[in-house]
Structure 1
Amino acid sequence: MAEEDLTRQGARPARHGRREADGASADPTLPPSARPGPTRGDLRRLLRARRRRRRAVEGVAVLACLVVLVAYLASGDPDPGREATGGGPPGAGRPSGLPGVEARYPGPGQASPGLRPRQRPPSQSATPTPTAPPVRPTLDATLAEVPAEVDLTGVGSRDWLHWGLRGAGSTVRKRGGTGEIRDEGGRGAVGGWDDNQESFRWRDGTPVESVGGSPHGVYRCGAGSRFTLAVVADGQPRTVRLFAGVWMARGRLDARLSDGGPNRTLRIEDRHTSRSAEFTLAFQAPRGARLVLTWTAEEVFTADCGNVGVQAVALR
């Protein structure tokens, strides 16, 4: 009996020690080496947690793919091979909010699946160069008395021509002028005189640079004798002043435009002595056309060289 009691008393501490061991597995204060290993329940819970995380990651990946697809379908039609720094503004090659994901677009002329292609703006064609309206030929003519002194440099800003300074065949032109005034000769022998009632001066002539007052001019005798001049048009309004006269004759000035525009005729006469006039002609004609002036002795009143004469012409 004593042995049996001792045996029972010796077994109790063993069962008590087992309970302490069982309690040690839940005690967090024990060192890891004294803790028991994971149970099957723990493994099943860990496996379920891992599955939930994997499904969440897969869901995020699917959502990202959908966003990329929507951006692809909603985009226009830029060149798929064009880089963002090439033909468009910075960042145009990537959908907003998804850095690192390169967007792909349908090529030119291709419609996005299921969507209407975005309308392109009309191409900018080259702006046609405006053409100037055609020039309508105009011509007006008036006459007036010649001033006592005429400044050819002032009235001939584009060109001028003076006759007779050094004889019948002498002419002086504007230095650096346009050359638009043309002396086209005439009919009858040319003579020179130096007692004109009016004088002419200039400061920009060639071959004579300046003259303070020249009373010279040239003339042609007899009925039907004439001078012919031409002024080249440039399409802009221009004014010509012709200083001419008669001696015991009637002179007729015919002005016409070579392109068939309007024409004008003016006359002066003096049966007993001389008379001078300033003919002013305002005209406009297409570039290359000409204003033609013919100064003719329409009738003479003496057999002693009734004539028409010219002193100068100016253009501005």
Structure 2
Amino acid sequence: MPDDTSAPRRPHPSAALPAALLRDSRRRPMAEYLMPAAIIVAGILLVVAFGIVINSVVRGKEPTALPAPPPPALGDIPPASDQAVIPLPSDPPSAGTPSPARPSTTPPARKTRPPAPPPNAVTIAKAAVPGKVDLSDEGDRDWVHWGQEGKFSLERAKDGDFQILEGAPTAPRFRQTRAKEQFSWQDGSPVASSGGTVVGINTCDKGNGFTLSVPAAKDDRTLRLYVGVQKAKGTLGAKLSTGGSTEAGTLEERGDGFATAVFKITYRSAQGGKLNLTWTTTETFGDGCGGVALQAATLR
């Protein structure tokens, strides 16, 4: 039998490979491990970078040196942004489609109170008597004249509705003709007309005189009272029946003469009522009949 040691040995398969190919086969396992490791490390770095960006946004800081995202491909949906959406104009509703009602922003109208009535008011002004007075022209509401037919006579406007009224006499009265001014009228009663008269009436002694009244209203009215005094001081008082203060005016004659004047009384009342007047002798001077006199009155 032949000796096994003497038989020729077959070469190892690796011995027949070239040396360069052998070296590549030994290095290939290392490359196969490095490539996955590099991919894993790159993923970790990407996650860390994304976390830094999110942390910067939460803290209000701008991210640093991040590349701008690539533009979206045609047909892709663009990313949402913080910009407000601008509404597009829509077609107006058709005539048959009612538009939704909008809540009114106009505040409700406040209830207004009715205007307050004018306050009570009385004023008195004194002036000289003109040489001639036309009572019919001046007194478009009413007028009166005293004494033409006697000491108790009263001539007045036919259509004056008795707005000027004299109170009941409280003292003796007399017919007098000492005034210089003339009074005329038309459409009177019981005396139809007069071209001019100086007649009037008077009283004597302190405390005596006359009382009158006229209706009051919310609008201004004017009463003119033609008076006289002889050897006396006369005081005119005027007060509304609805309240208020008493207004006064005076006229005085200390000698033997006969003084005359016209008192212009302007008045109004918030509640209607009347204006009450007193013309009284408050002082007398010397002997004889000292007192106040009445001539005429007009209302407009």
| Both proteins in one fold, TM over 0.5 | yes
| Residue of structure 2 aligned with 1:218, choices 169, 194, 201 | 201
Cα displacement (A) at 1:191? 0.9
Cα displacement (A) at 1:181? 1.2
Q: Given residue 302 of structure 1, which amino acid in structure 2 is its aligned partner? A: G
* TM-score, normalised via structure 1 length: 0.58
Q: What's the CA shift string for 1:199-253, capped at 9, x where partnerless?
A: 1001121111110001110111111001011111122100110000101111111
| Residue of structure 2 aligned with 1:206, choices 173, 185, 189 | 189
Q: What's the CA shift string for 1:263-283, capped at 9, x where partnerless?
A: 211111111321000000111
Structure 1 residue runs of 5 or longer lacking an equivalent are: 1-94, 96-116, 120-127
Whether the 8 Å contact between 1:139 and 1:284 is mirrored in structure 2 is yes
Cα displacement (A) at 1:118? 8.7
Q: C-alpha root-mean-square deviation of aligned residues, in Å?
A: 3.0
Asked if 1:275 corresponds to 2:259, the answer is yes
| Residue of structure 1 aligned with 2:151, choices 168, 171, 176 | 168
| Residue of structure 2 aligned with 1:293, choices 268, 273, 277 | 277
1:77 match: none
Whether the 8 Å contact between 2:178 and 2:258 is mirrored in structure 1 is no
What is the alpha-carbon distance in structure 1 between the residues aligned to residue 250 and residue 290 of structure 2? 15
Whether the 8 Å contact between 1:151 and 1:201 is mirrored in structure 2 is yes
Q: What's the CA shift string for 1:6-31, capped at 9, x where partnerless?
A: xxxxxxxxxxxxxxxxxxxxxxxxxx
What is the alpha-carbon distance in structure 1 between the residues aligned to residue 269 and residue 283 of structure 2? 31
Whether the 8 Å contact between 1:186 and 1:225 is mirrored in structure 2 is no
1:228 match: 211
Residue aligned with 1:153, SS: helix
What is the alpha-carbon distance in structure 2 between the residues aligned to residue 235 and residue 179 of structure 1? 20
1:192 match: 175
| Residue of structure 2 aligned with 1:312, choices 289, 296, 299 | 296
Q: Superposition pairs for residues 142-153 of structure 1, below 5 Å?
A: 142-153=125-136
2:138 match: 155
Q: Given residue 227 of structure 1, which amino acid in structure 2 is its aligned partner? A: F
* TM-score, normalised via structure 2 length: 0.61
Whether the 8 Å contact between 2:242 and 2:271 is mirrored in structure 1 is no
- Displacement over 4 Å in runs of 4+: none
Residue aligned with 2:137, SS: helix
What is the alpha-carbon distance in structure 1 between the residues aligned to residue 147 and residue 133 of structure 2? 16
Residue aligned with 1:221, SS: coil
Whether the 8 Å contact between 1:247 and 1:274 is mirrored in structure 2 is yes
Cα displacement (A) at 1:287? 4.7
Percent of pairs with identical residues: 37
**Number of residue pairs matched?**
204
Q: Given residue 309 of structure 1, which amino acid in structure 2 is its aligned partner? A: A
Structure 2 residue runs of 5 or longer lacking an equivalent are: 1-95, 103-110
